[in-house]
Amino acid sequence: MRILPIFLFVFAFVAMAAPPKTLVIQTNAQCGMCKTSIEKQLTNLDGVKEAVLDLDTKQVTVTYNGKKVNENELRQTIANTGYQADDVAPNPEAQAKLMACCQPKKAKASGCCAPKAGASCGKKEGVK
C-alpha cells in the first residue's frame, strides 16, 4: 500500500488549508422572510461564510469552514430557527413563533406569504 501515505499527506494538507465546504440543505422556507431569517441565522454562526436560499427549490446553499462548524450544526441551526432541514425536524417552539404564513400548516390558509425575497409576510402581494 504505497498510495496510503500519499493519500494521508494530501488529506492533511487539505485539512490544514481548510478550503470552504459547500452544503446544500433542503428546507421548507415559504417566503422572503423565511429566506432572510434562515440566511441570517446561518451566517451568524462562526465559520459560515455564506448562506443563500433559493425560494424556488427551498434549498439553502451554505459555504462554511468545516473545521469550525459541521453539517449537523448547520441543519440544527435551521431547525432551531423553526424550519425543516433535510431530515431534521423543525423545533416546534421556534416554528410556532414564526409568522403564520411561514408555518407550512397555516401557510395555505393565511395566504399572506410573499413569494419574493425581501418582501414581507405581513402584506399580501398586490393587495393594499
> Residue 62 and residue 48: Cα distance in Å, rounded?
7
For cell 422572510, the residue is: 33
Q: Give me the DSSP letters along 101-112.
A: GGSHHHHHHH--
Select 30 or 69, whichever has its Cβ closest to Cu ion.
Answer: 30
Q: 64 or 83: whose CB is closer to Cu ion?
A: 83
Nearer to Cu ion, 69 or 98 (CB): 98
Of 49-57, 70-78, 83-91, 95-103, the window that binds Cu ion (rule: CB under 5 A) is 95-103
- Minimum CB separation of residue 90 from Cu ion in Å reads 13
3-state helix, strand, coil in the chain (%, to 5): 45, 15, 40
Q: Which residues bind Cu ion (CB under 5 A)?
A: 30-31, 33-34, 102, 121
